[in-house]
A = this chain, B = another copy of it.
Amino acid sequence: MTVTEKRLAKRRRITEEAARLFGERGYQATRMADVAAALGMQAGSLYYYVDSKEALLAAIVEERVSVAVDMLTEILVEDLDPVAKIRRGIEGHLVVFDEHADLYRIFLSERLDAIAPELAETVDRLGRRYEDLWVDLVNEAIAAGALRPDLDPWLTMKAIVGMCNSTLCWFDPAGRLTPEEVADRFADVVLAGIRA
């Protein structure tokens, strides 16, 4: 491993640890000293790898900001019927949220625009992109006659995505249900409804 590679590896460890702490306790409540302590370093040493606390947040966000979008993009081009794609989309959402819970907690809970407006704009843009993909998915399914034609596609997207997002607040990876299982039940609710 070259010097530069070692440096990058350490930088990655820092962003990962920071992501974990920011996600757990919140950005404001996490001190640079906390991040450093979690890595067995002094606060000042972080600045050898990172320009500022804000830049650290930016690095975290930018590094993985497009995971969900990429996931959904791939699903969209798969050779599946529209309803199956929706089911896969929900599953992908929950799996990605499970794997990157800290990151999405930052996306959804932190008032990013009060911290770093440009960062908030980046996240917003990606968020809108993600929602647009879902709207496309819904529209495609309606056009294919698979969904009720009277649906408001945007509101339907909000219902699905909102339901999925909220798992961030309660889903426990060590609990009785896997993300895939939750996704399956959620998809049932959304697709077939709960009425007998």
A-to-B contact residues, CB < 8 Å? 25-26, 28-29, 83, 108-109, 111, 114, 138, 145-149, 151-152, 155-156, 158-159, 161-167, 169-170, 177, 182, 185-186, 189-196
Choose one: B148, B162, B170; the contact of A195 (CB below 8 Å). B148
CB contacts (< 8 Å) of A163 on chain B: these are 159, 162-163, 166
CB contacts (< 8 Å) of A166 on chain B: these are 158, 161-163, 165-166
Choose one: B29, B149, B185, B193; the contact of A196 (CB below 8 Å). B149
Q: Complex formed: what's the CA distance from A161 to B166 in Å?
A: 9
Is A108 a contact of B26 with CB atoms below 8 Å?
Answer: no
Contact A111:B156 (CB < 8 A) given known A147-B196, A162-B167: no
Beyond the given pairs A28-B28, A155-B186, A162-B165, 19 more chain A to chain B contacts, judged by CB atoms under 8 angstroms and listed by A's residue number, are A25-B111, A26-B28, A29-B114, A108-B169, A145-B196, A147-B194, A147-B195, A147-B196, A148-B194, A148-B195, A151-B194, A156-B185, A156-B189, A156-B194, A158-B167, A158-B170, A162-B167, A166-B166, A190-B194
